[in-house]
Amino acid sequence: MNAPYVLTLVADPAIAPLTETLLARLRRATGGGPPLILSPGEAADIPLAALPDPALVREALEDAPVDAIALPAAGRRKKLLIADMDSTIVTGETLDELADFAGLKAEIAAITTRSMNGELDFAAALRERVGMLRGLPIAALEETWARVRLTPGARELVATMRAHGAVTALVSGGFTFFTGRVAALVGFDLHRSNVLEHDGAVLTGTVAEPILDRDAKRATLHELRATHGLTTEETLAVGDGANDLAMLRDAGLGIAFHAKPVVAASARARVEHTGLRTLLFAQGYRARDFAAA
């Protein structure tokens, strides 16, 4: 079936594999064609003549832990990836973990949550949190780095897109100490973030200006798109917090990844149950096409 749209379904096989029964149910609900298996038990495409009603898709899923992303079939493979870091490429919030070494994790995490939910101005909230860490020995940065864990699929996502000619950028409201290391570990082409200031021994409680916020993330998307001569449709952005919303909205494909409610409600595509491999399946890659991480 040569269809103009596709519904990509992705499950975590270790939790609840994607079954033929579920695929048949989604096909009936959407009027789709025979499914194309991208990864047995994990991912499949259902070709469609029209974009499906999201409510019908949710009803047909019957609360199964499956991510469903509907897109035009043409131009699925993107040539630019812009990714948030905290709670997206890595599993936690690096600033919250750093605060743990000052005995302030609960207090700072509460501010982080409100900021990521869009309840606070990002720049003001960042300055407040960094200010609370004044006097913390810089050795805590290394100790925090030892706690950092990559989100499943991060390396595969970046390696596969780069292998197919895409530019990959890590753009974070966090700090260069961490983004530089994460970028090198995962394989991003470049990284941008904020500079956490110190005097060589302890944190000064300040962050270098200007602060990289939601507007800067959006601007980076537009800058890299123009630099590489790309169209909007050729771009992909992924993130979880309110400071990611502008870049998600301006990307050809903006994906809210295990996102805060305000972000999930606004995003055109969401990943709620699976890992970053889903971003490759959404682009039409089969698991056998993934580059070695």
- The catalytic residue positions are 84, 86
Nearest CA to 186 out of 253, 276, 97 is that of 276
- Residue 255 makes CB contacts below 8 A (sequence gap 6+) with 69, 236, 237, 238, 248, 267, 269, 270, 271, 279, 282
Query: Which two three-digit tokens encode residue 122?
Result: 């990002």
Nearest CA to 78 out of 218, 280, 291 is that of 280
CA distances for 277 relative to 35, 39, 118, angstroms? 19, 11, 27
Query: Is residue 78 a contact partner of residue 252, using CB atoms and an 8 Å limit?
Result: yes
Query: Is residue 91 a contact partner of residue 150, using CB atoms and an 8 Å limit?
Result: yes
The neighbouring-strand residues paired with 44 are 9, 37
Cis peptide, bond prior to residue 210, ω within 30 of zero: yes
Rounded Cα–Cα distance for residues 214 and 245 (Å) = 7
- Residue 223 makes CB contacts below 8 A (sequence gap 6+) with none
CB burial readout 135-155, b (16+ within 10 A) else e? ebeeebbeebeeebebbebbb
Structure letter (DSSP) for residue 150: B
Rounded Cα–Cα distance for residues 10 and 274 (Å) = 7
Query: Which two three-digit tokens encode residue 2?
Result: 């040569």
